[in-house]
Structure 1
Amino acid sequence: MIFVTVGTQVQFDRLIRTVDEWAGARARSDVFAQIGPSNYPFKHIRTERFIDPSRFKSCVEAASVVIAHAGMGSIITALELGKRIIVMPRRASLGEHRNDHQIATAKQFAAQGRIEVAFEERELTDKLDQLDIVNRCERLGGEASPQLIMAIRNFIETGHVRSGPNSASA
């Protein structure tokens, strides 16, 4: 199953429309989408506006790939469960969000090699066409590394971030 999620706050019809059209053109019947407050007339995918957190997690667990907005909850859940995730960040210039923080989020995770990003509809279609290419996703650990914990503790205590190989040591 391909699981698509756009969160619950605002509609993201650009993402849903792209996946719906792709599924129709490729005769895919294995797409389920959590669509939020969308009014787009879906033709080729199964949809629900909202799903509860336990069902959301079950959908991610069952999915071969997750297609999502660049929301932290969607990204972290997919990574924790070791699922391949392709994100399309919402764009403020298109009225999809209040600002472009999702673009910044997507760029940061992509730079770490943890997610795939499609900024435009054509990029998403191209990535969907390549779903059969095996792309293993490393699970994100459920606990923070000791170095990260120390860096956060240092920041809280001093208000500064140290850089360098010994930055986490006090």
Structure 2
Amino acid sequence: MRRVLTVVGTDYHPFHRLVTWVDMWCARRPEVDCLIQYGTSTPPQHARGMAYLGHADLEAWMAQAAIVVCHGGPSTILEARRHGLKPIVVPRRARLGEHVDDHQVRFVTHLVKRDLVLTVTTRQELESVLDQALDDPELVRASSTQEADTTAEAVQRFAALVASLFRGRDDSPTSGRAR
């Protein structure tokens, strides 16, 4: 049986929009084993739901999931990619009361440009991408080449920061701030 894991994270803002969208899709796809981690949102009616998952449970579900749908939290996205999956991401939006600002929108836009995530903005788009991913699992597989490129970029940035510290000056983004 194919598994779909949906994760809204641990922020105190409810994310009813994502929970409802996935739950409605799960209602018409009973052959799919769906778990929605719903946080402070209203629990799903059709899919299995848990308010929160411990790290071991999250790891186990990600290891068995064919598809991960999630909010735009960096940790959740990184976990999905670490498990070889390109997550389908719905970033939280401040104007909908889902977060304090739109940093998830900006972060996800950056990741989409690098082809590290898929993103959707409507329930219809989400249902379409979920259906496509069930038909073609490669759509939601992370590319090892992308991981290598991302890792190399991070190593280069870290090396430049360390080198600047050894030269006796701090070129980091926080330099010049009062301590």
TM norm. shorter chain > 0.5:
yes
Alignment check: 8 A CA contact 1:154 1:160 kept: no
The match for 2:123 is 121
Structure 2: give runs of 5+ residues left out of the alignment. Answer: 174-179
The match for 1:31 is 34
How many Å apart are 1:114 and its aligned residue?
A: 0.9
Question: Identity across aligned pairs (percent)?
Answer: 28
The match for 2:62 is 60
Note if 1:159 corresponds to 2:168: no
The match for 2:107 is 105
TM superposition score normalised by structure 2: 0.80
Once residues 112 and 12 of structure 1 are traced to their aligned partners in structure 2, the CA distance between those partners, rounded to angstroms, is 26
The match for 1:166 is none
Alignment check: 8 A CA contact 2:6 2:70 kept: yes
- Paired residues in the alignment total 159
Pairing 1:1-170 to 2, within 5 Å after superposition: 1-9=3-11, 10-40=13-43, 42-131=44-133, 132-133=135-136, 134-135=138-139, 136-139=141-144, 140=147, 144-145=151-152, 146-154=155-163, 157-159=169-171
Alignment check: 8 A CA contact 2:93 2:101 kept: yes
For structure 1, which segment, 56-65 or 21-30, has the greater mean C-alpha deviation from structure 2 after superposition?
A: 21-30
Once residues 64 and 117 of structure 1 are traced to their aligned partners in structure 2, the CA distance between those partners, rounded to angstroms, is 17
Residue deviations 1:77-99 (CA, integer Å, cap 9, x gap)? 11112113100001111111110
Structure 1: give runs of 5+ residues left out of the alignment. Answer: 162-170
Residue deviations 1:100-156 (CA, integer Å, cap 9, x gap)? 000011111111011101122222122112112222312446x94342321333566
Higher share of residues assigned helix: 2
Once residues 151 and 86 of structure 2 are traced to their aligned partners in structure 1, the CA distance between those partners, rounded to angstroms, is 21
TM superposition score normalised by structure 1: 0.84
RMSD of Structure 2 on Structure 1 (CA): 2.1
- Compared with structure 1, are the counterparts of its residues 154 and 12 closer, same or farther at alpha carbon in structure 2 (3 Å cutoff)? farther
